């Protein structure tokens, strides 16, 4: 049987799914299998009926929801009108990328696998459930899953007689060729075509929002720098409600841009156009101006400050000519070398830029044409909006914890987006951030008589600040907030605002300052202390209950505390309390938004 063209479709809000999909694409090329790799939002799902062989790589967001670039595909695939045998010609495999610290671990992958079977498609192998929490990361599942996938595929579709796979160490051609051009003015590059003025800002056409203020809300002596940042969205037609999310793509630091250009001997002020190489089906990235400055590419597009994935080392190994460096790169990209890769790169959070500096001979010989194969695109970051348009017209605010920590590497590790945002100082001149807004996972009740209980320790309080501002502006009462932090004097965000609202009778506040006494006190302890109040609100007044914050231990501890409230107030058993919580979640009266 002749081999069909393999279609690899990926859906994710991070770069991991794209990186994995492209890795499968390169493996297909080495096996001389025709391959197409597409994001799910660039593929016409109606064509799925005519496909023969498809791999789906997908992640899960929120409470078991598909990622944004998968939603249109998801809606189409779950139409009740689709015939049960509509995909009977399709052989497929599903690889899920997830995090087992979340309750709905790889939910989208599992549900997609089941739905494809309902429509008559045949699974080549069980669904792969990669887990970020594994010591070796998702590759611990991806590697053996891909070995099994290719065994099945090659047995079904053997290569024609006389055809042999390419060697793993032979370089594949790059996806694009750079054509450098001269006599281009900066104006042509930096001014993209304006979007439709009636369309809301989007990933393709963000709104350049001016930074109005960038205020530190933790004490200067506190180890954690947290910022309340306000943007001006006048003229943007951006609309949002409490629970919505602000999106942006950060820029690389000037220092990293300069070092990258120095290592690769690139002139940051030169301009280029991109063209796909012969046989490449990769579309030219629409987000890059045409022509584009090297500085723009490195500053705003290539994720040079990220911890590189294994595919980065795989590609570098094929391009290296120095024997010592090539041997080390081959070892780090091999299945047997994953412990070493974890120790060298993942654990200390070594960046791709630092890896290039560690392999100087390979870096010096690196062709510019491989840049977009080596480095993923900078992915959008999301922040819960912490303000209400009703309270702050034409403004949008976010609460940002600046990520900075030490590893065994000499230089402190920094979060790309939070560090970039913290560096924006409107007092030094006008600065703007290209941003857009999307619907969030938290939905607040419209009924003015429904009380709302919100548990938001740390920056988890951000969406609840928006909700409280909005509900007060709408005249809604029954606003109860549980806030937790380390110290009342160091990181009690928005303290004055909360105290004024409590004084005015607009909200009830319970605080937990974990380090202000010998025994640590957390929000779950305060919930147990307020069992009588909470049972009255939930059991008698149909209150809505919300959790936002770090996904590690807090959400589970809060859920356990809430179940104790049910047992104590309602006189129910532990299993009945769990059923009550499940019922609230199903009815939308229990919602959470957590992150790892």
CATH number, position 47: 3.40.50.360
Q: How confident is the model at residue 453 (pLDDT cuts 50, 70, 90)?
A: very high
Tell me the per-residue pLDDT of 198-225, one tens digit each, with 9 for 90 and over.
778 998 899 999 999 999 999 999 999 9
Determine what percent of the chain is predicted with pLDDT higher than 90: 75
- Using one digit for the tens of pLDDT, what is the confidence trace for 153-209? 989 888 877 777 877 777 888 989 999 998 655 444 444 444 455 778 998 899 999
DSSP-derived secondary structure letter, 308: P
Residues 237 and 260 in one domain: no
Q: Are 514 and 566 within one domain?
A: yes
CATH number at 476 reads 3.40.50.80
Verify cis geometry, omega within 30 degrees of 0, for the bond prior to 291.
Answer: yes
Domain boundary among the residues 326, 352, 374 is at: 374
Q: Which two tokens stand for residue 522?
A: 């957390």
Q: Can you give the pLDDT at residue 183?
A: 62
> What integer best gives the mean pLDDT of the chain?
92
Last residue in a domain, options 324, 344, 374? 374
- What are the residues whose beta carbons fall under 8 Å from the beta carbon of 504, sequence distance 6 or more? none
Contact between 213 and 396 under an 8 Å Cβ cutoff? The reply is: no
Q: Domain with 324 in it: what CATH number? A: 1.20.990.10
C-alpha to C-alpha distance for 461 and 549, rounded to whole angstroms: 8
- On whether both 464 and 578 belong to a single domain, the answer is yes
Q: How confident is the model at residue 295 (pLDDT cuts 50, 70, 90)?
A: very high
Q: Is residue 184 part of a domain?
A: no
In-domain check, residue 161: no
What the block records as the tokens of 399 is 């609460």
Among candidate residues 2, 316, 304, 313, the one with its CA nearest the CA of residue 139: 313
For residues 436-461, average pLDDT: 95
pLDDT of 529 strictly over 80: yes
pTM of the model as a whole: 0.87
- 218 and 91 in a single domain? The answer is no
Same domain, 319 and 348: yes
> Is there a single domain that holds both residue 363 and residue 228?
no
| Inside any domain, residue 370 | yes
- Examine residue 42 and state whether it is found in any structural domain, yes or no: yes
Strands 6-11 and 53-59, by their bridges, are parallel
What domain range is 398 assigned to?
Answer: 207-248+380-438
The answer to whether residue 466 sits within a structural domain is: yes
- Tokens 């969205």 map to which residue? 233
What backbone torsions phi and psi does residue 457 show, to the nearest 5 degrees? -70, 150
CATH number of domain containing 218 = 2.40.30.10
One domain, residues 10 and 148 = yes
Contact 421, 247 (CB under 8 A): no
d(CA 317, CA 168): 10
Q: Is the pLDDT of residue 426 over 70?
A: yes
Q: Where are the alpha helices (DSSP H) in 291-391?
A: 294-300, 310-319, 323-333, 338-341, 352-358, 360-364, 371-374
Going by DSSP bridges, is the β-strand pair 176-181/271-276 parallel, antiparallel, or unpaired? antiparallel
Whole-number pLDDT of residue 279: 66
Asked if 337 and 357 sit in the same domain, the reply is yes
Whether residue 20 lies inside any domain: the answer is yes
Residues 224 and 263 reside in one and the same domain: no
Rg (CA), the chain: 26
Residues 569, 465: one domain?
Answer: yes
Q: Which two tokens stand for residue 448?
A: 């003015």
Q: How far apart are CA 526 and CA 507, in angstroms?
A: 16
Please report whether residue 194 resides in a domain: no
- Residue 372, pLDDT > 50, answer yes
Cα(219)–Cα(224) distance, integer angstroms: 9
| pLDDT greater than 50 at residue 119 | yes
Total structural domains within the chain = 4
> Do 232 and 331 lie in a common domain?
no
Question: Could you say which of 390, 410, 438 is where a domain stops?
Answer: 438
């Amino acid at each position: 049987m002749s081999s069909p063209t393999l279609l690899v479709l990926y859906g994710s809000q991070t770069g991991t799914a794209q990186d994995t999909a492209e890795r499968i694409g390169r493996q297909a090329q080495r096996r001389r299998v025709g391959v197409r790799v597409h994001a799910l939002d660039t593929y016409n799902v109606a064509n799925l009926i005519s496909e023969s062989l498809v791999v789906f790589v997908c992640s899960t967001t929120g409470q078991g929801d598909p990622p944004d670039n998968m939603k249109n595909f998801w809606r189409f695939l779950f139409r009740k009108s689709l015939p049960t045998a509509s995909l009977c010609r399709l052989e497929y495999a599903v690889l899920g990328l997830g995090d087992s610290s979340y309750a709905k671990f790889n939910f989208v992958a599992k549900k997609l696998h089941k739905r494809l079977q309902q429509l008559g498609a045949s699974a080549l192998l069980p669904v792969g459930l990669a887990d970020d929490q594994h010591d070796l990361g998702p590759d611990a599942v991806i590697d053996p899953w891909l070995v099994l996938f290719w065994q099945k595929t090659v047995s079904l579709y053997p290569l024609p007689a006389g055809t042999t796979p390419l060697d793993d160490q032979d370089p594949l051609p790059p996806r694009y060729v750079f054509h450098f051009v001269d006599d281009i003015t900066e104006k042509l590059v930096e001014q993209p075509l304006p979007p439709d003025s009636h369309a809301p800002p989007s990933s393709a056409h963000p709104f350049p929002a001016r930074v109005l203020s960038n205020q530190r809300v933790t004490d200067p002596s506190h180890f954690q720098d947290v910022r309340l940042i306000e943007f001006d969205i006048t003229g943007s037609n951006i609309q949002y409600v409490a629970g919505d999310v602000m999106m942006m793509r950060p820029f690389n630091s000037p220092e990293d841009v300069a070092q990258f250009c120095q290592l690769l001997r690139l002139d940051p002020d030169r301009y280029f156009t991109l063209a796909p190489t012969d046989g490449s089906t990769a579309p030219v990235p629409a987000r890059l101006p045409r022509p584009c400055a090297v500085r723009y590419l490195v500053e705003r597009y290539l994720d040079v400050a990220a911890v590189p994935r294994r595919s980065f080392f795989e590609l570098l190994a094929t391009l290296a000519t120095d024997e010592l460096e090539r041997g080390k790169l081959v070892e780090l990209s091999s299945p047997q070398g994953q412990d070493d890769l974890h120790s060298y790169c993942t654990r200390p959070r070594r960046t791709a830029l630092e890896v290039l500096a560690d392999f100087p001979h390979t870096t010096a010989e690196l062709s510019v044409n491989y840049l977009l194969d080596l480095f993923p695109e900078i992915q959008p970051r999301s922040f819960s909006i912490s303000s209400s348009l009703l309270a702050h017209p034409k403004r949008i605010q976010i609460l940002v914890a600046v990520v900075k920590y030490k590893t065994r590497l000499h230089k402190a590790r920094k979060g790309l987006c939070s560090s970039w945002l913290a560096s924006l100082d409107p007092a030094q001149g006008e600065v703007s951030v290209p941003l857009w807004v999307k619907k969030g996972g938290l939905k607040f009740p419209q009924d003015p008589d429904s009380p709302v209980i919100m548990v938001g320790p740390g920056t988890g309080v951000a969406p609840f600040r928006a909700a409280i501002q909005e509900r007060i502006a709408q005249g809604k009462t029954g606003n109860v907030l549980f806030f937790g932090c380390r110290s009342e004097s160091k990181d009690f965000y928005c303290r004055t605002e909360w105290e004024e609202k409590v004084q005015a009778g607009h909200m009830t506040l319970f605080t937990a300052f974990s380090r202000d006494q010998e025994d640590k006190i957390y929000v779950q302890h305060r919930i147990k202390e307020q069992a009588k109040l909470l049972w009255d609100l939930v059991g008698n007044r149909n209150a809505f209950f919300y959790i936002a914050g770090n996904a590690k231990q807090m959400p589970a501890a809060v859920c356990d505390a809430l179940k104790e409230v049910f047992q104590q107030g309602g006189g129910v058993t532990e299993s009945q309390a769990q059923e009550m919580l499940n019922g609230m979640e199903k009815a939308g009266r229990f919602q959470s938004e957590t992150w790892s």
